[in-house]
Each structure stands twice: as C-alpha cells, then as structure tokens.
Structure 1
Amino acid sequence: MQNNNKKSIYSWALYDWANSAYATTVMAGFFPIFFKSYYSVGTEVTVSTAQLGFANSISSFVVVLLAPLLGAVADAGSLKKRFLFLFAFLGILMSASLALVEQGNWQMAALIYTLGNIGFMGSNIFYDALLPSVSDDKNVDYVSGLGFALGYLGGGILFALNVFMVQEPSFFGFSDEAVAIKASFVSVAVWWALFSLPLLLFVKEKKRDKEQKNILLVAGYLRLKKTFQRVRSLKGLFLFLVAYWLYIDGVDTIIRMAVDYGMALGFDSNSLIMSLLIVQFVGFPATLLVAKLADTLDTKKVIYLCISVYIFIIVFASMMEEEKEFYILALLISLVQGGIQALSRSYYAKMIPQKYAAEFFGFYNLLGKFAVIVGPLLVAFVALFSHNSRLSIASVAVLFIFGGLFLFFVDEKKVAKEVREAME
C-alpha cells in the first residue's frame, strides 16, 4: 500500500472537508441557536442549556459503547470504509431530517440531533483509523493537519453560504429565517454526501481474508478483549489516553457549548455566528502552521502550547462582558482548536501499530467521546445548580490542567516500542 500517494492523501483529507459541514453549521452553529429560539422556545436559558448538554452526552455515550467493538471488528475484517459510510449515511439522513421538525418540538429535535451526532462521531472513528493507510511516520503530522485544515475551510465555506441564506432569506426564495436555517440543514446533508465520494473511490484498505468471513464478529470480540487487557498493561499508552481524555474533553465541550454560552450572556446571535466564521477561516491556515511547528519543535511541546492557550481562553471567557470580546475569544480558539486535535491524532498514530489501527483508534475515540459525555454534563449541572453561566464555563479549565499533568509522563518513542513489543 502506498502511504505517500497524493490522490489517497487528498481523498482521505477531503472527508474532513465533507463532514465538517455538520460540525460547523449544525453542531456548533445553527442548532444551538435554533434549539433555544425555535425547538425549545419559551424554556429558561439554563434549562435549554441542560437539554442541549444532555443530548450531546447521550450521543457520545452511545458511541462510547460502540467504538471499541466496532474498531476491533473493522480491523478483523478490513471494514473501515464500510463502517465509515454506514455512520456517515446516518448523519447525513439526520441532518436533512432536522428540517422536518416543527417549532416547540424540542424532544424530536433532540432525538434527531442525537442520532446525527452518533453518525458524525461514529464515522470519524474509521476516518481516523484510515490515517495510517495514507501516511507514514515522516508525514503523519502534516497529513493529519491537512485533514483538519481542509475541514475548517470546507466547513467554513458552506457555513458562510448558510449564514448568507439566513441573513438574506428572501434572496434565496425563503419566507423567513426559520425556513432558511432548515434549508441549511439540508445543504449540510448534500455537501457531506458529495465530498465523501473521493474517500470511497480512491482510499484503499487491505481486503479481508475469505476465511475470516464466518468468524468476523467472534474475531472482533476476541481482539477487543485482548486489547483491553493489553492497554491496561501498557502504562505509557494508558497515560496518554487519560491525558487525551481530559484535555480533549475541554476542547469538545467548548466547541459544542460556546454559542450556547454566548446566548446565555445575552449576546446577539448574529455576532455569535460571525465569530464562528472567524474560527473556520482562521482555523484553516492556523492548523497547518501548528502542524508545521510540530515538525520544527516537537509534537508534545506544541500540544502543551495549545493546552496553555485554552486555559487562558477559559479564564478570558469567564470574565468577558461585551460582544466584541467574543470575537477575540473566537480568534484565540481558531489558533489552537484544529492544531491540538490534529497533533493529538498524529501523536497517537506514532505510538500504535498500523495493523491494529482501527482497534486502537476505537479506544482513542472511546475516550474522546466519553469526554464529550462528561464535559457537557459538567457544564449542564453547574449551570442548573449555580444558575451561573460564567461558573459553568470556568469549570472546564480543570480538565486542561489535569490533562497536561498526565501528558508530562508520556514519551512517544518509549510508548511505541512498548506497544510494538506487546503486540508481537
């Protein structure tokens, strides 16, 4: 398999361009706003924050249950692409289905959003697991960063169009903003489906052996059990996964709850949407620069730099008073959000054997998605019991602090050797 085939690399990276439309327009952008003002109209702001937090947590919990087993099965049968497109189809269908939900029906909106998140996150398990198939140790940081960078650009382009649709609905033939937002959910489905095709056509994975067909599920369970046992004994890898679980919890919570937080402070929704556009378009070059910086310095050191910036971001967010400060917040986030995600993925890829990529990335995504259970729940419960939105966002800082502490004890070269010897 050619790990440096440019067609395979760009086809793989374009999937981030494809599904980031869901992350921007639906997850981070219009759904939190529309949920508060339309689907959950008339509900107290802290209650709707809790409802949104619970929806995010439930979807993550389902992926937590599925990720390790599906990763093991995918490795046993070389089914990464098939599982990727199965989950992508679910996400695409649910994104379009949001357009059918009527005003005030927050329960149905939350259910469809939850299923859409499962499709989005589930497909990313197998997208991540295909990274070793299109890269090697020399270019993995760049390839991983390219995926996130194209994700920012692609998601940002469609999001910009969606924002124009919502601000000028009559130009597109829509009767009002609500119809335009629903149309934007449909546009996400079309975009996601269309730009997933290059990965389907040009990224290859090893075909499964014929004799595996009848024992595929059994093999998946056996490999899952074996990997659980080994991960517990691999101290270095275990420490990294704990560190990643903690700090990526903070990253994902900020992605999903930032707009909701801005609305709780009374900021205008248009200002919040424009700030998200800043994140998308600044995030594109920033992610590539951060990935390049990792080549010059060291991947672990640059991850630490990103963690430090996030701690500052949280402190700043908890004290901001004016809408213009939210733009500054968005700019700071855009500088490190893609970088910390890309480098965490490539850092982990350096420590695991390609033969077991889907299985180990199942665990990687397991912890990442488990984090997205804890983070939104933390924000939801602090908001409910304290009735203080500033305190709820400030509570996220502890996750970055402890994540950085655990990361201190990780040496990727020693971990890679330890994992390789254990898996032989």
Structure 2
Amino acid sequence: MTGDRRAVWSWALYDWANSAFATTVIAGFFPIFFKQYWSAQHEATTSTFHLGMGSALASAVVVLLAPTLGAVADRGGLRKPFLLAFTLIGVAATAGLFFVGQGQWLAALALFVLASIGFFGGLTFYDSLLVDVAEPARSDRVSALGYALGYLGGGILLAVNVAMTLSPESFGLADKGEAVRWSFLSVAVWWALFAWPLFRYVRENRPARPPAPWAAARAGVRELWQTFHRIRAHRAAWLFLLAYWVYIDGVHTIIRMAVDFGLSLGFESTALITALLLVQFIGFPAAVAFGYLGERWGTRKAIYLGLAVYAGVTAWGYVMTTELQFYLMAAVIGLVQGGVQSLSRSYFARLIPEGKSGEFFGFYNMMGKFAAVIGPLLVGATAAVTGDPRAAIGSILVLFGIGAWLLTRVPAETRTA
C-alpha cells in the first residue's frame, strides 16, 4: 500500500457504498418489483423485454462515455470530480424510485436506466483510483478488499431490506410494496453516506499543471483516438481486454439474469432473494481469500480457477430443478464471483502504462459494459428462439471457455512504462 491506510480503506468503502445498488436494486428487488408492481399490466415476457432493453441502454451509454471521459480525466486530473458526478446521478435516480406509483413502468424504467448509468459510469473512475492508493505489488489485496467490503456492505443492507419486506409492520410500514419503495430510498442514503470518505481522504495523483477543463476535454478527446494505437502497442493489455470482455460477459449475465431465471422456473421470490444473500455473505471472505491466492499462486491461475467454477455452475443450471439446488448454486458462485472480478481489475492495473490509468480503465470498463449489453440479449434471444430458459442459461457456457483460452494468450503480467 502507499502508506496511507486511511486512503486505502476510504477507497474500498466506496465498494461498500455502491454495492447496495448492485444487490438491492439490480440483482434483487427491481426485477421482481418491476414485473409484479410497476409493469403488472403487461405479460411477463413483455416486462422482461423492457427490463432487458433498459439494462442494455444503460450499458450502451456507459460504453460510449467511459473511454472519452477517462481520457479527459487523465489529462485534467478529474477522476474524482467525474466519480462524484456519476455518484450524484445514481443516488438521485435511485431515491426517485421511491416516488414512482403502481403501473408507472416507464418512469420506473427511466430512473433505473439513469441510476445504472451513475453506478456503472462511476466505476471507471473508481477503478482507476486503485493505482493511486495501492502499489502494484499490493494491488491484488487492495482490490480484493474493495470487493469484499462490497459484498459485506451490500449484503448487510439487503438483509435489512429483506426483513422489511417480510415483516413490514415491524418497521411501521403498511405492506410489502411500501417496504420495497423504502428499500430503494435506503440504498440512495447508504450509497451517499459511505461514498463520502473517498472524496474526503483519497488523493488523486494529478498532473503538475493540469489544463483548464475545456482544454482538458479537447485534449482528452483527441488523445482517445490515440489510445487505440497505444493499446495495440501494449499487447498484454489489449489481449487481456479481449479475454476479459468475453468471460466477464458470462459473469455479468449470470448476475443480472439469475433472479429472472429462477422466476422462470417457478421458484418463489423469497427463495431467490435468500439465495442472493448467500452470494453476498459467502462472497465477503471468499473475495479476501482470492486476493491472497492471487499473491501466492499467481493472479492468472486464480482467475482460471474462478472461470472453471463458473463453467461448472452454468452446466449445473441447465439441469437444476429445485430451490435447494438454486441455494447451492448461489453458494458456489459466492466463492468465486468477487475473486474473478477483483483479480481481473488488479491484473489489468499491472498491465497498463504509467499515467494512463483513467484512460485505460475507461476501455476496461467499456469492455465490461459492452459485455453487459450483449449478454442479456444473448440469453433473451436464446430463450425466445427455444422457449427454454435452461437453454438460455446454457448459452453462457461457451463464453467462459473462449475467455479462458484467450487469457492463455496474454503475456506475463508486467507494469509497462
């Protein structure tokens, strides 16, 4: 670490803060509440289509913005200001969900898209700040700390929100619907509160003489086009981005579609949320363990292990029939999900040139978000063609295989100058 442990923990706490949105909103309550409350007047397939298109739109916006803004942020030392802007967008839109009434599916979807843009757009600048708080030799452990706190924080708030929906009267609420709406508001407050330490204590390494914002914007956009050539000049970086794009597609698709998949099999929503809690609380110690495993065994080997487990879980999902099996599948995913994500982030941080973290992480997050566009569309299209949700889940299996093979083509991890 750089010596400022407070900066490290403040940086990692942002994962604790925004993971509440990933768990309670994206993976948990929004898909269920959207289908059963805001879009109850539509057929199930129609609401699923709307949700998929909304998710894809949010990811597409981030795909278009992330590389350009990353380049601008590097030129002007603006990673923290950009992170603040996206955080405020996400917090405000999430809070807005509290005020959306029953049947107002378009308003709910619009706010969800805005909140998702705030969440995913901010990750570009949050991830790039890793190089300011951790030396390369410690990046595995620090990155894993962030993901571990994310699983714990997101899981704690989700557990409270689940308790609110199971027993609304204990919290002075009228019914389950009101409890869910208050859950969205609690996510906004949680996100804002625990994001604050990063903006207070993390120091961004800025250029000695940063240009004016407008000059930084012009230079950043111009430099963006040069980044394509620079990435190609760093063979390890662009090969890793290609591998990452393929295998993280599978990871993100499982995260986003797991609840919808369980609903398609007829599982109770309560059981699905319980399984999500399992992922969160198992993921906390598992992410920390993967950080140590990456340091001792090798980052790439540890990623291979995670992808092999994911492939096995995907194949298992094709034949799954009971809620108990869904619980077991969630537990196994919790063992590797944070590890694959955190080690991918720290692995890439060691491959990029000095002074280009925002720019290169812009492309890193672009690849991840572009996967989040294609993955749900792949599952949805397969389900539409075959009429079988199991076949849709099975289609993800090939992504892990191709991603792992591409990772073998990446040269040894070395920070470039």
Q: What band does the TM-score fall into relative to the shorter chain?
A: over 0.9
Q: Distance in 2 between matches of 1:16 and 1:264?
A: 31
Q: Distance in 1 between matches of 2:238 and 2:210?
A: 33
Question: 1:206 matched to which residue of 2?
Answer: 205
Tell me if the contact between 2:236 and 2:413 (Cα under 8 Å) persists in the aligned partners: no
Tell me if the contact between 2:75 and 2:210 (Cα under 8 Å) persists in the aligned partners: no
Question: 1:381 matched to which residue of 2?
Answer: 381
Question: 1:412 matched to which residue of 2?
Answer: 412
Question: 1:329 matched to which residue of 2?
Answer: 329
Q: Distance in 1 between matches of 2:38 and 2:98?
A: 11
Tell me if the contact between 2:77 and 2:210 (Cα under 8 Å) persists in the aligned partners: no
Question: 1:106 matched to which residue of 2?
Answer: 105
Q: TM-score with structure 2 length normalisation?
A: 0.97
Question: 1:28 matched to which residue of 2?
Answer: 27
Q: Distance in 1 between matches of 2:144 and 2:79?
A: 21
The offset of 1:47, in angstroms, is 3.0
Residue deviations 1:339-374, cap 9 Å, x none? 000000000001112411100000100101000000
Q: Distance in 2 between matches of 1:206 and 1:336?
A: 32
Q: Report SS of the residue matched to 2:135.
A: coil
**Paired amino acid for 1:20:** S
- Quote the RMSD (CA, aligned, Å): 1.3
Bigger drift between 226-235 and 158-167 goes to 226-235
Residue deviations 1:371-395, cap 9 Å, x none? 0000011112122222211111111
Within 5 Å, give how 1:260-339 maps onto structure 2: 260-339=260-339
Bigger drift between 186-195 and 317-326 goes to 317-326
Structure 1 unaligned runs (5+)? none
Q: Report SS of the residue matched to 1:413.
A: coil
The offset of 1:232, in angstroms, is 2.9
Bigger drift between 226-235 and 262-271 goes to 226-235
Give the total of aligned pairs. 416
The offset of 1:158, in angstroms, is 0.6
Q: Distance in 2 between matches of 1:177 and 1:147?
A: 32
Tell me if the contact between 1:50 and 1:381 (Cα under 8 Å) persists in the aligned partners: no
Question: 1:72 matched to which residue of 2?
Answer: 71
Q: TM-score with structure 1 length normalisation?
A: 0.96
Question: 1:345 matched to which residue of 2?
Answer: 345
Q: Distance in 1 between matches of 2:379 and 2:282?
A: 27
Question: 1:371 matched to which residue of 2?
Answer: 371
Residue deviations 1:38-65, cap 9 Å, x none? 1121433333222222111110000000
**Paired amino acid for 2:84:** F
Q: Report SS of the residue matched to 2:356.
A: helix
Q: Distance in 2 between matches of 1:11 and 1:105?
A: 38
Tell me if the contact between 2:100 and 2:108 (Cα under 8 Å) persists in the aligned partners: yes
Question: 1:401 matched to which residue of 2?
Answer: 401
Residue deviations 1:198-254, cap 9 Å, x none? 101000013455561151111101221111122234333211101000000111111
Tell me if the contact between 2:236 and 2:351 (Cα under 8 Å) persists in the aligned partners: no
**Paired amino acid for 1:7:** R
Bigger drift between 293-302 and 143-152 goes to 293-302
Question: 1:91 matched to which residue of 2?
Answer: 90
Change (3 A) 1:234 1:207: closer
Bigger drift between 225-234 and 273-282 goes to 225-234
Q: Distance in 2 between matches of 1:245 and 1:95?
A: 28
Within 5 Å, give how 1:124-273 maps onto structure 2: 124-210=123-209, 212-213=211-212, 214-273=214-273
Question: 1:44 matched to which residue of 2?
Answer: 43
Q: Report SS of the residue matched to 1:412.
A: coil
**Paired amino acid for 1:82:** P
Structure 2 unaligned runs (5+)? none
Bigger drift between 96-105 and 402-411 goes to 96-105
What percentage of residue pairs aligned between the two structures are identical? 50
Residue deviations 1:314-340, cap 9 Å, x none? 111111111111100110110000000
Q: Report SS of the residue matched to 2:161.
A: helix
Tell me if the contact between 2:24 and 2:184 (Cα under 8 Å) persists in the aligned partners: yes
**Paired amino acid for 1:320:** M
Bigger drift between 229-238 and 368-377 goes to 229-238
Tell me if the contact between 2:347 and 2:413 (Cα under 8 Å) persists in the aligned partners: no
**Paired amino acid for 2:277:** L
Tell me if the contact between 1:88 and 1:120 (Cα under 8 Å) persists in the aligned partners: yes
Q: Distance in 2 between matches of 1:378 and 1:163?
A: 30
